[in-house]
Structure formats: C-alpha cells, structure tokens
Amino acid sequence: MSALTNIRDLSLAQLENYFETIGEKKFRVKQVYEWLWQKHALSFDDMTNLSKDLRNKLSQEFSFPSLKIDAVQTSDDGTIKSRFKTFDGHAIEGVLIPTEERKTACVSSQIGCSLSCKFCATGYMDRKRNLHFDEIYDEVVLINQQSEKTYEKKLSNIVFMGMGEPLLNYNNVLKAIEKITAEDGLFMSPKRITVSTAGVAKQIKKLGDDKVRFKLALSLHAANDTKRDEIMPINETNNIAALIEALNYFYKQTGNEITFEYILLKNFNDSIKDAEELIKIYRQVPADLVNIIEYNPIDAFQFTKPDEESIQNFMGFLEKNRVNARLRRSRGKDIDAACGQLANKK
C-alpha cells in the first residue's frame, strides 16, 4: 500500500480542514463523509455526485483501502459464508446467519489468530495482522447488503466470533463498533452487538473502564484450569479465577449482558461432573446465559461431538439446577461456516 493517508482515518473535522485548504465548498465535506460511512462507497470512483476533478484530486491525496468479496458459499440452511480480500491480498471470512427472528453477521477481527485454541480452525493459522477498523466496518456493510438482497431484511445482530481474538485488536474493534453504532454510520444499537473473547482478563477490565455498551461473551469451553489449559493455551496466563474477577469487574462498571460459550466435546467436558463445575462458575458471575454449542469437526483436531443422549443429559442437569442454558445448533456446517470452522478449508 502507498504511504498516502487512508481517508477513513480522518475525522469529520480533519476532512473539513482539508477541504478548506483546497478551497472546496463546505457541502462537499458532507457528501464525501456520507459516501465513506453511509452510502458505503468502496472507491473514489463510486462518489458519483463529485466532479471527476475532485475525485482525481482525492485519489492523489488519499488512499481508500476497502474489502472486496472474493468468494461466496451458501449453505443448505441459508447461511452465507463470504471470503473477503484485503487491500494487501489477505483473506478473511465472515458469515451471515439467518433465522426467522434475526439476521446475524459473524465478523472477523484479525487475519489469523495467535491464541491456538485447539478446537478452532483459525487457531492453526499464524496471525498475519490486525484488521483495521474500517475493514471490520466493511465486513458488516457487505454482509448487511447480502442480507438485504437475499432476505430483504437488514442485519439485526453482529457477533465478533469470526477469525481472531477481538480483545487483542482492542482499539480497532472499539472504533469499528463506534462507527457501526454512530448516527452518521450504520446506527445499530450496541445492545445488538456481542464481542466474544477467549479470555484476556486485563482487556475485559479495560472494557469496563471504557464503559462499553455492547454485550460480552466468554469462550469458556472447560470449567477447570487443567482441561482449559489443554484446549486453550491462553488459560495458562488468564486462568478461570482471573476471568471470573474480570467479568465481575466488567459487569460492575457497565451492567452489560454476559454470556458463557461452552463447546461440548465427547468424553472431555461433557460429563455431569463437568456440568457441576460449570454451574459453580456460572454462580460466581452475573451471567445471563450459557450457550452450549455443538462441536463442529475440523481437520486438525481429533475430538468428536457427544451423542444426543449425552447432550440432553448435560442440558437437563443445567436446567434442573436453574441455569439459563441454551443449546445452539450449528448452522452452515456443510460449507465450513459453523462455529470454529472458519479457514478450515482452502
């Protein structure tokens, strides 16, 4: 990429200042800003109500990197997975998950991931770089356009559960959400956005200090440190006790909804004893929900999904003990778009 400044890094005030220095009328600033954040131009050429001369001038002064859709797969259940190409040639994936009640975008925050969670295909990739805030914004815009075209409905929800660890790209994720929720952006409610983390205790506390307004999900997946260490190396530096403390701090600062995510793995974390340990954690945090997730096979990980009886026994025990638990059936498995499968196949 050239050394030119990315035009979407400019604030409205900075854009106004630039237009003043080149002697352009003030209304041009509003036109350009709308193209950047509301009309979703992906190049200067898209800004059709600007003169060709002004578009040329902008292209000489600024860069305008944007995501492009590189490939699309549609599942039998209506789930749509997109591979996006970045300006520097990297690939990331995002998913549109449709149900009767909602249309959800599952977006990525990094190219690859450094956390190496054993059950997640992205964890077997190297982390190339963080996504810039405007690239995350583009993911949401492009998936929203798919939702409108395919289902004639806008996105109702966004989950940061795609490739990468959102809290290790903290500033870009928060800035993207700021634009997604802004009145002069996509104007979505922050209560319809969930950021999922593998558990970075320090950054969970920072979310509390920053008084964020979105929901938080913790990918727990094992309810004691020995098992969690085995499948999630991050637990060695961010153990369950540290995460419980961080989640309570986050809730005290924000009052925002907290969810636990728990993938069931056969003969590993699916016993009644495991359920008892999960309940102990649940009772130490003001969590709204435990999402029990079907395991989706990936090539590099040899675990399998428990049989239906084991799943129902586990769920039944949670419910008997007054845990608000929901079994999340996987969608998009046939196109490797389900939880943990992104980047599984080339």
298 and 183 assigned to the same domain: yes
The chain-wide mean pLDDT, for the chain, equals: 92
Q: Determine, yes or no, domain membership for 343.
A: no
Number of domains in the chain: 2
Residue 296 banded pLDDT, cuts 50, 70, 90: confident
Q: Which helix (H) or strand (E) covers residue 173, if one does?
A: helix 170-181
Last residue of a domain, one of 63, 87, 107: 63
**pLDDT tops 50 at residue 274:** yes
Residues contacting residue 335 through CB under 8 Å, at least 6 positions apart: 73, 74, 75, 79, 81
**pLDDT tops 50 at residue 346:** no
User: Could you identify the residue written with the tokens 């008892």?
Assistant: 276
Q: Determine, yes or no, domain membership for 161.
A: yes
Does residue 120 carry a catalytic annotation? Answer: no
In angstroms, rounded to a whole number, what is the distance separating the alpha carbons of residues 99 and 268? Answer: 31
157 and 119 assigned to the same domain: yes
CATH number for the domain harbouring residue 243: 3.20.20.70
Structure confidence by residue, pLDDT tens digits, 12-34: 999 999 999 999 998 999 999 99
Residue 332 banded pLDDT, cuts 50, 70, 90: low
Q: Please report, to the nearest 10 degrees, the dihedral formed by the alpha carbons of residues 290, 296, 300, 302 taken in order.
A: 80
One-character DSSP codes across 138-157: HHHHHHHHHHHHHHS----E
How many other CB atoms are found less than 10 A from the CB of residue 237? 11
Last residue of a domain, one of 63, 87, 108: 63
Q: Which domain holds residue 207?
A: 68-335
Q: Determine, yes or no, domain membership for 342.
A: no
Q: Determine, yes or no, domain membership for 244.
A: yes
Mean pLDDT (whole number) for 253-258:
97
Q: Determine, yes or no, domain membership for 346.
A: no
**pLDDT tops 80 at residue 300:** no
| Catalytic annotation, pick one of 24, 93, 230, 294 | 93
Please choose, from the candidates 41, 231, 237, 57, the residue with its C-alpha nearest in 3D space to the C-alpha of residue 145.
Answer: 41
**pLDDT tops 90 at residue 117:** no
25 and 109 assigned to the same domain: no
One-character DSSP codes across 23-50: T--THHHHHHHHHHHTS--SSGGG-TTS
156 and 264 assigned to the same domain: yes
CATH number for the domain harbouring residue 32: 1.10.150.530
How many other CB atoms are found less than 10 A from the CB of residue 70? 13
238 and 115 assigned to the same domain: yes
Given this model, what pLDDT does residue 339 score? 53
Mean pLDDT (whole number) for 193-221:
98
Residues contacting residue 28 through CB under 8 Å, at least 6 positions apart: 19, 50, 54
178 and 277 assigned to the same domain: yes
135 and 48 assigned to the same domain: no
Mean pLDDT (whole number) for 297-321:
89
Q: Determine, yes or no, domain membership for 126.
A: yes
Residue 207 banded pLDDT, cuts 50, 70, 90: very high
Last residue of a domain, one of 17, 46, 63: 63
Q: Which amino acid is at 318?
A: L
In angstroms, rounded to a whole number, what is the distance separating the alpha carbons of residues 204 and 181? Answer: 20
**pLDDT tops 80 at residue 333:** no
One-character DSSP codes across 162-225: SSS-GGGGHHHHHHHHHHHHSTTTT---GGGEEEEES--HHHHHHHHHTT--SEEEEE---SSH
56 and 110 assigned to the same domain: no
Does residue 277 carry a catalytic annotation? Answer: no
- Portion of the chain with pLDDT greater than 90, in percent: 84
Mean pLDDT (whole number) for 46-71:
95
74 and 51 assigned to the same domain: no
Hey, is 255 helix, strand or coil?
Answer: coil
Q: Determine, yes or no, domain membership for 218.
A: yes
Q: Which amino acid is at 220?
A: L
56 and 87 assigned to the same domain: no
How many other CB atoms are found less than 10 A from the CB of residue 317? 18
Given this model, what pLDDT does residue 295 score? 86
Structure confidence by residue, pLDDT tens digits, 146-197: 999 999 999 999 999 999 999 999 999 999 999 999 999 999 999 999 999 9
34 and 162 assigned to the same domain: no
In angstroms, rounded to a whole number, what is the distance separating the alpha carbons of residues 175 and 287? Answer: 26
- Retrieve residue 315's tokens: 């769920």
Please choose, from the candidates 73, 75, 76, the residue with its C-alpha nearest in 3D space to the C-alpha of residue 84.
Answer: 73
Q: Determine, yes or no, domain membership for 116.
A: yes
135 and 12 assigned to the same domain: no
Structure confidence by residue, pLDDT tens digits, 74-99: 988 899 999 999 999 999 999 999 99
Residue 1 banded pLDDT, cuts 50, 70, 90: very low
Mean pLDDT (whole number) for 292-312:
85
- Portion of the chain with pLDDT greater than 70, in percent: 92
The answer to whether the beta carbons of residues 143 and 94 sit under 8 Å apart is yes
Give one word for 224, left, alpha or beta, with left for phi > 0 and alpha for psi -120 to 50: beta
How many other CB atoms are found less than 10 A from the CB of residue 300? 11
Given this model, what pLDDT does residue 345 score? 46
User: Could you identify the residue written with the tokens 């237009």?
Assistant: 19
Given this model, what pLDDT does residue 342 score? 46
